[in-house]
Amino acid sequence: MKKAVVVFSGGQDSTTCLVQALEQYDEVHAITFDYGQRHKLEIEVAEAVAKKLGVKAHKVMDVGLLNELAISSLTRDDIPVSHELQENGLPNSFVPGRNILFLTLAGIYAYQIGAQAVITGVCETDFSGYPDCRNDFIKAMNSALVQGMDRELDIVTPLMWLDKAETWALADKYDALELVRNETLTCYNGVIGDGCGDCHHVS
C-alpha cells in the first residue's frame, strides 16, 4: 500500500498537493503545524478542507517553540507584513528553520505509519526568496532524513518548478480549482479565498 504524508497548511499550494496525493496514493495523512502563526484561522481552514477531502488522518501538531525562537511577521502580531527586504535580503515573513522543523516532524510521522513519501508545496519559482523552499535544500533535507532514520523516504515537491498559473491548472486537472480558489487560506493577512491582494503569500 502506497502511503503519503502531506505537509498541509490549508493554503492554495498545499491543498493542490493534497488533492493530487489523494489520487496517487492509497492512503494519505495530512499534518498541520500550529506554531502560533499570525492567524489561528489557518488551522481551522486546514481542518475543514482535510475533512471535506476525506484524508485518512489529519494531525495538528503544536510546535509553539518555533514561535519563541523565530521572530518574524508571521510569528509576531506587532510586526506588520512588509514587502521590503531586510538587510539579509529576505522578507520579514521568513521564519528561519520552519521547513527544517516541519519536514523533520513529517518525516518522523511518515516513519511511524510506514509512509514512503512526504509531500510539501514548496516552490522555487514562486518562493519569495525563502531559502528553505529551494530544491537544493529539499534534496539536502531528504538525504539527512534518510541517513538519520536509516529508511527510504522521498520528499516530493509537485509544485517546485510550476508558476502560479500552472499550479492552478494542476488543481483544475483534479476538479479542485473552485475549492482551492474559494475555501483555502494563503493570505498572510487572513483573508480566505483570493486573499487581500497585497501581501506576499506562499503556502
Q: Which residues are annotated as a binding site for ATP?
A: 8-18
Q: How many CB atoms lie within 10 A of CB 84?
A: 6
Alpha-carbon 88 to chain mean position: 23
On the CB side of 86, CA atoms within 13 Å amount to 15
Q: Could you give the CA distance from residue 33 to residue 102 in angstroms, rounded to a whole number?
A: 7
Return binding residues. Answer: 8-18
